[in-house]
Amino acid sequence: MKCLEPTRPPVLAATVVPDLAASACAPCPADERPPKPCGQVTASGGQGVTRTRHALGLTPGLVRITYDMYSIPDRLDCFYKGVLVASTGGLVSGTGTLQWTYTPAPGDPSWCMVVMSAPNSGTAWVYTINCPM
Protein backbone atom coordinates (compact mmCIF):
# COMPACT_ATOMS: atom_id res chain seq x y z
CA MET A 1 0.00 0.00 0.00
CA LYS A 2 1.38 3.42 -0.95
CA CYS A 3 0.76 6.47 1.24
CA LEU A 4 -0.38 9.66 -0.38
CA GLU A 5 1.93 12.64 -0.39
CA PRO A 6 0.52 15.88 1.05
CA THR A 7 -0.26 18.52 -1.55
CA ARG A 8 -0.11 22.27 -1.30
CA PRO A 9 -2.61 24.48 -3.11
CA PRO A 10 -1.18 27.14 -5.42
CA VAL A 11 -0.65 30.57 -3.90
CA LEU A 12 -3.61 32.80 -4.76
CA ALA A 13 -3.20 36.49 -5.38
CA ALA A 14 -5.85 39.17 -5.79
CA THR A 15 -6.13 40.71 -9.23
CA VAL A 16 -7.77 43.89 -10.40
CA VAL A 17 -10.60 43.66 -12.92
CA PRO A 18 -11.36 47.19 -14.13
CA ASP A 19 -14.92 46.54 -15.36
CA LEU A 20 -16.08 44.64 -12.27
CA ALA A 21 -17.65 46.53 -9.39
CA ALA A 22 -17.56 45.17 -5.85
CA SER A 23 -20.86 44.09 -4.40
CA ALA A 24 -22.10 43.32 -0.92
CA CYS A 25 -23.11 39.80 -0.02
CA ALA A 26 -26.77 39.42 0.84
CA PRO A 27 -27.83 36.92 3.51
CA CYS A 28 -29.56 33.77 2.36
CA PRO A 29 -33.34 34.20 2.22
CA ALA A 30 -35.17 32.72 5.18
CA ASP A 31 -37.96 30.22 4.79
CA GLU A 32 -40.95 32.51 5.28
CA ARG A 33 -43.52 29.73 5.56
CA PRO A 34 -44.82 29.34 9.11
CA PRO A 35 -43.73 26.13 10.83
CA LYS A 36 -46.24 23.28 10.94
CA PRO A 37 -47.63 22.80 14.47
CA CYS A 38 -46.24 19.87 16.45
CA GLY A 39 -48.59 16.94 17.03
CA GLN A 40 -49.86 16.84 13.43
CA VAL A 41 -49.18 14.05 10.95
CA THR A 42 -46.96 14.95 8.00
CA ALA A 43 -47.73 12.76 4.99
CA SER A 44 -45.58 11.71 2.07
CA GLY A 45 -44.14 14.25 -0.30
CA GLY A 46 -43.30 11.35 -2.62
CA GLN A 47 -39.95 10.60 -4.19
CA GLY A 48 -37.22 13.19 -3.64
CA VAL A 49 -36.29 15.40 -0.69
CA THR A 50 -38.98 17.10 1.43
CA ARG A 51 -38.09 19.72 4.06
CA THR A 52 -40.65 20.72 6.70
CA ARG A 53 -40.28 23.08 9.66
CA HIS A 54 -42.17 22.08 12.82
CA ALA A 55 -43.07 24.46 15.65
CA LEU A 56 -42.05 23.25 19.11
CA GLY A 57 -43.06 26.13 21.36
CA LEU A 58 -40.99 27.53 24.21
CA THR A 59 -41.36 24.69 26.74
CA PRO A 60 -38.34 22.36 26.91
CA GLY A 61 -38.83 18.61 26.96
CA LEU A 62 -38.50 15.33 25.14
CA VAL A 63 -39.52 15.49 21.47
CA ARG A 64 -40.72 12.15 20.10
CA ILE A 65 -40.92 11.47 16.36
CA THR A 66 -42.97 8.49 15.25
CA TYR A 67 -42.75 7.38 11.63
CA ASP A 68 -43.92 4.77 9.14
CA MET A 69 -41.87 4.36 5.98
CA TYR A 70 -44.04 1.46 4.81
CA SER A 71 -42.27 -1.11 2.59
CA ILE A 72 -40.08 1.18 0.45
CA PRO A 73 -37.22 2.55 2.58
CA ASP A 74 -36.77 6.28 3.24
CA ARG A 75 -34.61 8.38 5.57
CA LEU A 76 -35.66 10.92 8.21
CA ASP A 77 -33.23 13.51 9.61
CA CYS A 78 -34.28 16.11 12.20
CA PHE A 79 -32.21 19.27 12.73
CA TYR A 80 -32.37 21.88 15.47
CA LYS A 81 -30.26 25.03 15.14
CA GLY A 82 -28.54 23.38 12.16
CA VAL A 83 -27.45 20.35 14.22
CA LEU A 84 -28.64 16.82 13.52
CA VAL A 85 -30.55 15.79 16.66
CA ALA A 86 -32.39 12.66 15.46
CA SER A 87 -32.03 10.39 12.45
CA THR A 88 -32.95 7.00 11.13
CA GLY A 89 -29.26 6.77 10.21
CA GLY A 90 -30.00 5.68 6.66
CA LEU A 91 -32.82 4.27 4.57
CA VAL A 92 -35.33 2.30 6.65
CA SER A 93 -38.73 0.75 6.08
CA GLY A 94 -41.52 0.06 8.54
CA THR A 95 -42.33 1.90 11.75
CA GLY A 96 -40.09 3.43 14.37
CA THR A 97 -39.63 6.13 16.98
CA LEU A 98 -36.87 8.69 17.41
CA GLN A 99 -36.47 11.13 20.28
CA TRP A 100 -34.32 14.06 21.34
CA THR A 101 -34.23 16.56 24.18
CA TYR A 102 -35.36 20.09 23.31
CA THR A 103 -33.77 22.71 25.58
CA PRO A 104 -34.27 26.14 24.00
CA ALA A 105 -32.39 29.10 25.42
CA PRO A 106 -33.65 32.69 25.13
CA GLY A 107 -33.34 33.77 21.49
CA ASP A 108 -33.10 30.21 20.13
CA PRO A 109 -35.49 29.12 17.37
CA SER A 110 -38.69 27.46 18.53
CA TRP A 111 -38.83 25.03 15.60
CA CYS A 112 -36.94 22.11 14.09
CA MET A 113 -36.44 21.06 10.47
CA VAL A 114 -37.21 17.55 9.24
CA VAL A 115 -35.58 16.45 6.01
CA MET A 116 -37.14 13.39 4.41
CA SER A 117 -34.99 11.67 1.77
CA ALA A 118 -36.97 9.33 -0.46
CA PRO A 119 -34.81 8.15 -3.36
CA ASN A 120 -37.05 5.34 -4.63
CA SER A 121 -40.08 5.63 -6.88
CA GLY A 122 -43.44 4.55 -5.49
CA THR A 123 -42.45 5.55 -1.97
CA ALA A 124 -44.83 6.74 0.74
CA TRP A 125 -44.18 7.78 4.33
CA VAL A 126 -45.78 9.53 7.31
CA TYR A 127 -44.35 10.93 10.53
CA THR A 128 -45.47 12.96 13.51
CA ILE A 129 -43.35 15.35 15.59
CA ASN A 130 -44.94 15.19 19.03
CA CYS A 131 -44.84 18.37 21.10
CA PRO A 132 -42.12 18.49 23.80
CA MET A 133 -43.15 16.80 27.05
Residue by residue, pLDDT tens for the chain (133 residues) are 455 565 566 665 656 656 656 555 555 455 567 899 999 999 987 899 999 999 999 999 999 999 999 999 999 999 999 999 999 999 999 999 999 999 999 999 999 999 999 999 999 999 999 999 9
**Partner residues linked to 54 by β-bridges:** 36, 112
Say if CB 43 and CB 101 are below 8 A apart: no
Q: Residue 51: its pLDDT value, please?
A: 94
Count of Cβ atoms closer than 10 Å to residue 85 Cβ: 18
d(CA 62, CA 43): 22
The domain defined by 41-129 carries CATH number 2.60.40: no
55 burial (CB, 10 Å; 0-12 / 13-18 / 19+) is middle
